[in-house]
Structure 1
Amino acid sequence: MAYGMHHAMDLYKTREATYEEMAEFHSREYLDFLQTVIPADMDNAELNERIAGFNFGDDCPVFDGLFNYCSHYAGGTLDAARKLCNNQSEIAINWSGGLHHAKKSEASGFCYINDIVLGILQLLRLHPRVMYIDIDVHHGDGVEQAFWSTDRVLTVSFHKYDKDNFFPGTGGLDDTGPPNPLNPGAHHALNVPLHDGIEDNEYVSLFQSIIGPCIRTYQPGAIVLQCGADSLGCDRLGCFNLNIRAHGACVAYTKSFGLPTLVVGGGGYTPRNVSRLWALFALPATVRHAQARESQLEGVSGVGDAGGAGAVAVHQGAPSVQMRHIPPDIMGLREDVEREIEEEKAMMEAEQEDKDGAGSSGDKWSRRKDLEKGLGVRGELYT
């Protein structure tokens, strides 16, 4: 609000994702568990095996309202994807999304429902190919795994890589998809492993040298960009030395291709940096002076392995796919959402009228004076 961003974008209150929508990727057994588990179950010895089977524990605790929380952020990403499919916007943002570690039947790394996978599946209803870009400090393993055996999604992840000492320990340079060259997903996962302390110029140069050829060769119909803020310097769990300007440059470069783009959040454990970064992404022109601290680490090393861009050369051209019929619900989504917004607005206005009662304008003025009592730079017009 302070930067006036609400004047430059359309803001939507999203609905919760339904059980059936989340079941497009996640197993029903896992969703049933999310619906019924409560914090007290963590201390129930009889449920230990089942809880461990879904990978709940210190990194993925159980808390009250867990399923509703998952439904809310997943619904935001689904609605954002639908805005793109309906041509209502060229860019749609859901900062509460970006939980890229969640698997089909398993929570992982603070992630319970993989809203990114759900959003990509929505985009694939309309677009033959979707490109996923991940600039979180952690490898986007859940998204990569979900689309491991398809050529309709190209996943590209820039992340800290240390197989034994940094979560999730995946995303090596040689992890490019299924080893069988006849598998459609072969060479459709691109990982760019990085070491501690990489700085702005090196990161942005590497990003552009890889993403540009990928987009031009793969020719995606839409892009999903995960913008985890934990790759910034000063993050409590991160280890890079990046300023928010580096992230902003990566986002601006991605936007320059003019493709429908779904932007989601992700990691980020230093709140002031997260808020600055999200503001920069949302409206760069108005927050160009906002900065995180310039440096945190000495540049001990940068790119994990030279030659990460070499994998791009494997793609000889965009894979051809047969266009699928667009489900009729896509075309009616806009009308449904607008109708729901109007109904909610009317309900809120009716509730406000009930609270106000039949009071006169004089009564309202008195209530306003009570609320403003003691306020003002001169003390206090109504004291």
Structure 2
Amino acid sequence: PVYVYSPEYVALCDSLCKVPKRASMVHSLIEAYSLLDQMKIVKPKVASMEEMASFHTDAYLQHLQKVSEEGDDDHPESMEYGLGYDCPATEGIFEYAAAVGGATITAAQCLLDGKCKVAINWPGGWHHAKKDEASGFCYLNDAVLGILRLRQKFDRVLYIDLDLHHGDGVEDAFSFTSKVMTVSLHKFSPGFFPGKLNLGGTGDVTDVGLGKGRYYSVNVPIQDGIQDERYYQICETVLKEVYTVFNPDAVVLQLGADTIAGDPMCSFNMTPEGVGKCLKYVLQWQLATLVLGGGGYNLANTARCWTYLTGVILGRTLSSEIPDHE
């Protein structure tokens, strides 16, 4: 597998105020379990304006660049671009966004070039951003950029989102096409993000895509408290059907760790092993697979989860005795 990493990249990702230092916690735990030896480490390129504009509008990107240079969180136009409360316009946010977008594109390119079957970018997976709007801690939709890059070679791309939250930004981006199928398992209850109290939730089971893309969006709303066994049953049932019907050429997996018991979101009751079973199910298809992170606000648990999942990708079972590391 390819593991996208550079010290500069991790340092930039560490600066994200919603998950401070998470990227380096994840990386150092993966390193402590000596998993890096079994992966090809690829240094990420930074996304160009042109690459980001394959999805995002020029106006949004220029605004993001402007407020990022000035560290201006009170710009009058920022509200309409979704910047502020959940997505503060902090200084350097544009560099961070371009780095994450570039890392996911780099991972996708490795799959295009046949360098590997699986490419990993744990600091990626920011699935809420819209073409002209930041949302839910997401400034740039790297998952969409990765899918668009994969589409240069792979005709049908399947996006699977196992984060606690509905992958609305990715679904919206591809809601009119039959070439990208989006599948999201998520908590669904009135007012739970990205739903709004007055408008109900998003990602209801009736939300199936539009136009040519009708029935190419699959949503699996789930109630609080779900545990590994039931979650895996649902996941396997859905993915079995999806695989048969859609017959994908490549897969993008978003594995947000905010479903794990002990997350401040206090919603699902999963363990890394439960998510690992879902990951194994996808890996047995042996397709080009791009693996991304996402949510995960209990930072130590998130590091444990993604390290465990890295082990799953490598076919290694990790001991729960965490090795000494920084």
| TM-score, scaled to structure 1 | 0.72
- For each residue in 1:169-225, what CA deviation from the matched residue of structure 2 results, as whole angstroms up to 9, or x when unmatched? 3100100112xxxx2101100000000000110001110011012112211100000
Quote the residue 1:250 is aligned against. Answer: 278
Shift of residue 165, structure 1, vs aligned partner:
3.8
8 Å CA contact 2:158, 2:182 repeated in 1: yes
User: Aligned pair in 2 of structure 1 residues 132, 282: CA closer, same or farther (>3 Å)?
Assistant: same
Within the candidate set 218, 225, 232, 1:197 is matched to 225
CA contact (8 A) 2:71 2:90 kept: no
Q: 2 CA distance for matches of 1:64 and 1:278?
A: 28
C-alpha contact 2:178 2:216 (8 A) present in aligned 1: yes
Partner of 2:309: 281
Please name the residue that 1:349 is paired with.
none
Alignment of 1:69-84 (within 5 A): 69-84=96-111
Q: Specify whether residues 32 and 193 from structure 1 end up closer, same or farther in structure 2 by C-alpha distance, changes over 3 A only.
A: same
User: Which residue does the alignment assign to 2:35?
Assistant: 5
| Distance of 2:84 and 2:186 partners within structure 1 | 24
Tell me if the contact between 1:94 and 1:264 (Cα under 8 Å) persists in the aligned partners. Answer: yes
| C-alpha contact (below 8 Å) 2:72/2:91 kept by paired residues | no
Q: Distance in 1 between matches of 2:73 and 2:297?
A: 25
**What is the TM-score normalised by the length of structure 2?**
0.84
CA RMSD of aligned residues (A): 1.5
2:138 corresponding residue in structure 1: 111
Verify: 1:170 aligned to 2:202, yes or no: yes
* Number of residue pairs the alignment of both structures matches: 284
Equivalent residue, structure 2, for 1:263:
291
For the pair shown, the structure with the greater C-alpha radius of gyration is 1
**Contact 1:197 1:239 survives alignment (8 Å):** yes
Structure 2: how far apart are the matches of 1:274 and 1:40? 29
| Matches of 2:254 and 2:160, distance apart in 1 | 6
Counterpart in 2 of 1:41? 72
CA contact (8 A) 1:59 1:109 kept: yes
* Secondary structure of the corresponding residue to residue 72 of structure 2: helix
**Structure 1 counterpart of 2:168, from 133, 136, 141:** 141
1:56 to 74, 83, 94: 83
Is the 2:168–2:194 Cα contact (8 Å) retained in structure 1? no
Return 4-13 or 165-174, whichever deviates more.
165-174
Displacement after TM superposition at 1:289 (Å): 3.3
The answer to whether the 8 Å contact 1:207/1:250 transfers is yes
Structure 1: gaps of 5 or more residues? 293-383
Q: CA deviation at 1:237?
A: 1.7
Report the secondary structure of 2:32's partner residue: coil
Q: In structure 2, how many angstroms separate the alpha carbons of the residues matched to 1:210 and 1:40?
A: 44
Task: Give, as a single letter, the amino acid of the residue that structure 2 aligns with 1:26.
Answer: H
- Alpha-carbon distance in structure 1 between the residues aligned to 2:64 and 2:317: 39
With a CA cutoff of 8 Å and minimum separation of 6, indicate the structure with the bigger relative contact order.
2
* Amino acid across the alignment from 2:87: C
Question: Letter of the aligned partner of 1:127 in structure 2?
Answer: F
